[in-house]
Amino acid sequence: MSDYRTFVIPFDFSEHARAALLAGTDLAKRMNADIHLVHVIQPPTYAYGYGGDIGGATTVAFNMTEVRNSADASLSAVAEGVQNFPGKIEAHVLEGSQVDAELRGIAEKLDADLIVMGTHGRTGLAHVFLGSVAERTLRIAPCPVLTVKAPEGSESDR
């Protein structure tokens, strides 16, 4: 096995992401690797003509700076909350419409050796309609991807 020194751990604040963080930090400790926590903010999409005048655009108050600042603070708190981790943990908040492409980009930029990410493990129609960020990331990632599912009965399984 080659040296794994740089881990990217996508974090969307779900139970599955928390399970991936636990698995990733445990593995990173054993391999003396650094961790880069990544949260991707997707800009809102707007539906024109919905709820407004015919042919008019609906205006929605949305402050991307506030969203980014909130995400930065929340992700930094998660990074600071990792207990007894001897390596470096950095938090990165990115903006982009495709989470998988943003993950590929930061993995390439950091020359990551491993991406450790949570997955909901959806199947059937849920998978067809919602897709899988983990699956799309696995297909385009420049390095191996380890997927982790939260234990049965966790909050996001309900």
Q: How confident is the model at residue 35 (pLDDT cuts 50, 70, 90)?
A: very high
pLDDT of the residue at 131: 55
Q: How confident is the model at residue 156 (pLDDT cuts 50, 70, 90)?
A: very low
Sheet holding 145-148, edge to edge: 89-95, 34-41, 6-10, 114-118, 145-148
pLDDT of the residue at 3: 87
Q: Please state, in angstroms and rounded to a whole number, the distance separating the CA atoms of residues 27 and 29.
A: 5
pLDDT of the residue at 127: 45
Six token digits for residue 66: 């506030």
Residue 135 has pLDDT above 90, yes or no: no
Helix (H) or strand (E) holding 22: helix 15-31
pLDDT of the residue at 152: 74
For the entire predicted model, the pTM comes to: 0.82
Q: What's the distance, CA 144 to chain centroid?
A: 16
When pLDDT is averaged across residues 117-139 and rounded to a whole number, the result is 69
Sign, CA torsion 13/17/23/24:
negative
Asked which of 23-27, 115-119, 140-144, 152-156 is least confident by mean pLDDT, the reply is 152-156
pLDDT tens for residues 42-83? 987 765 545 555 555 555 566 888 999 999 999 999 999 998
